[in-house]
Structure 1
């Protein structure tokens, strides 16, 4: 990772990143903003086929920076540009991007080096340009793949992609075609695994036919076609959070624990919620926190989730003055 802290271009990089970050997600609907956005899109998809995840090998060192900047230029110019409201002309802005991304020299053991391919990790622009390039990649370059081989679902968070593929007999061919589009952009995959029937509440669908870990969640498809979620932890997870006796402000410790419970209330299916609560309590009890403190954090998170649901269900009414010969169109 090349650190750009206090580098000559660090301020201009942050300025450009602030402008360009608003363009992420404008090219492709497959872009995932956060976990909530992801779960909503998965639930609405009703996609058929087997779940699998794709991962791009070493994305940042392999992003074609010049092509990514050219994508920015393409979408910010023309009669109807997708990227708008740049404070300077798009051409000058793209020249600035090129200058920033080429300034990636560093020293190691007394020797000077320069990264000549890809986007330097540590630069605030790298993730944004990578996202924009991949949006172009998945929107247009995937069109070169035959329709009968395309996935029925394609959702991407940076370099992690969730797919549904209906005809698995054609998946190997699809993967070869995908890896052949851009030699530097190579994909690996992980297939979902079959699950047994869950013992849940009788008023809930419990027949899980497959599951797949993706980001921080375990995605499960029911035999009804619906999706449910639980919190996913890697096998190496050791519960190493902030210790109760660490030299950290108490509000920070409380926020960490509260957000762990809040995440569970937001995304866990009811049949997994109690288990997740116990897991969180167990992890933090081992770190020296009291049961009373943990219960206060849990209650605060539960109240916060109830308030979120109330806000989501609010109906906003706007009073409009009467005007003759006027029709309101949605």
Structure 2
């Protein structure tokens, strides 16, 4: 088992190259004579290709940012957090796989699974790993692959630890945590709604149920969850209840209950913002729910609380845009020779 990883994929994706891949797939190139014509005289496919290329470049390679009073433009890679970033990165990686798969199989690759930039690969026993690295790194100068080999018949892939059994006939899986994992979570004494604390435990239970491949590994993971929550002050009964509920749903013992609820009419959800101030908030929720059930039995009242202001509200981490560069700023300019004045509004800066 071996895992190949692209170093800093999002910031290294070759934009010009990938945009051409997208355009060629959606709008195959027409004749050169058609492309040399004026846009109004081009065929519909060429016009659509040009329009889509303009939109792609505006959303990727023509984005700007202000840092240290200087304006920068991104000419390569995709911005972290951009909605298009994972799509463009995946398109590039899919093209890489499609192009190199025959060479990789000849080099000894027998199974290639990928999620974004992380891969899980099975290779033949006598395979030269450096040959595979050379094939991958030759594809494009912007992309560099690193690799991690299994240790003690184990290899982490995302949050899954893949384990090779002693007889080497099958694989087992359990939850993987990095060495930097601190074990910190929402503390039991934190002043937050109880639903947050339930969700913190339930998320770990659900992950264990979905990843662990055997009851013995599942039992070990449940014990890890108990130890983590104990260090954060959670009562053991609270955690055991969450584990029991998760197991009950996973084993399908609530089938009868789910069948009954399916036949019930679907209630309309009504969301209600309620600041969290402690136990009094929980009491008010119960009263409002009971009152809503009396006057509107067809409505399901859902409560939510807005999170408090973050520290970024008080500390400016980004450069402040000068007034004359901001949009929608109303200003007045007085004439130096008379009493007349002009009132205007700034627009978006190009």
Q: Mark yes or no: TM-score above 0.5.
A: yes
2:14 alignment partner in structure 1:
64
The answer to whether 1:102 aligns with 2:46 is no
> How many residues matched?
237
SS in 2 for 1:73: helix
Q: Is the 8 A contact 1:259 1:301 kept in 2?
A: no
Which stretch of the first structure deviates more once superposed, 165-174 or 292-301?
165-174
Per-residue deviation, 1:72 = 2.2
- Superposition RMSD in Å: 2.6
2:111 alignment partner in structure 1:
153
1:186 to 144, 150, 155: 144
The answer to whether 1:131 aligns with 2:74 is no
CA distance in 2, matches of 1:283, 1:146: 42
Which stretch of the first structure deviates more once superposed, 93-102 or 301-310?
301-310
Give the unaligned 5+ runs of structure 2: 29-46, 257-350
Over residues 104-129 of structure 1, what are the superposed CA-to-partner deviations in whole Å (9 max), with x where a residue is unaligned? Answer: 31122222222221112121211111
Over residues 190-246 of structure 1, what are the superposed CA-to-partner deviations in whole Å (9 max), with x where a residue is unaligned? Answer: 10123xxxxxxxxxxxxxxx1111111110122252111011111121111111222
Listed as ranges, the matches of 1:258-277 within 5 Å are 258-268=202-212, 269-277=214-222
Per-residue deviation, 1:101 = 0.3
- Which has the higher relative contact order, 1 or 2, with Cα contacts under 8 A spaced 6 or more apart? 1
Per-residue deviation, 1:93 = 3.6
1:117 to 52, 59, 76: 76
Per-residue deviation, 1:90 = 6.3
1:214 to 153, 157, 166: 157
Alpha-carbon distance change, 216 to 170 in structure 1, aligned in 2, over 3 angstroms: same
2:230 to 274, 281, 285: 285
Alpha-carbon distance change, 228 to 109 in structure 1, aligned in 2, over 3 angstroms: same
Q: Is the 8 A contact 2:15 2:61 kept in 1?
A: no
Listed as ranges, the matches of 1:5-44 within 5 Å are none
SS in 2 for 1:152: strand
CA distance in 2, matches of 1:71, 1:305: 43
- TM-score after normalising by structure 1: 0.66
CA distance in 1, matches of 2:254, 2:23: 41
Q: Per residue, is there more strand in 1 or in 2?
A: 2
Listed as ranges, the matches of 1:155-174 within 5 Å are 155-174=113-132
Q: After TM superposition, what 4+ stretches of structure 1 lie above 4 angstroms from structure 2?
A: 88-91, 308-311
Q: Is the 8 A contact 1:218 1:229 kept in 2?
A: yes
Per-residue deviation, 1:189 = 0.5
CA distance in 2, matches of 1:247, 1:74: 55
CA distance in 2, matches of 1:139, 1:130: 14
Per-residue deviation, 1:94 = 4.0
Q: Is the 8 A contact 1:142 1:178 kept in 2?
A: no
CA distance in 2, matches of 1:173, 1:102: 34
Give the unaligned 5+ runs of structure 1: 1-50, 79-87, 195-209, 312-330
Per-residue deviation, 1:309 = 11
CA distance in 2, matches of 1:216, 1:231: 6
Over residues 122-169 of structure 1, what are the superposed CA-to-partner deviations in whole Å (9 max), with x where a residue is unaligned? Answer: 2121111101110111012444x2642041111111111111111544
SS in 2 for 1:75: helix
The answer to whether 1:237 aligns with 2:181 is yes
Q: Is the 8 A contact 1:57 1:186 kept in 2?
A: yes
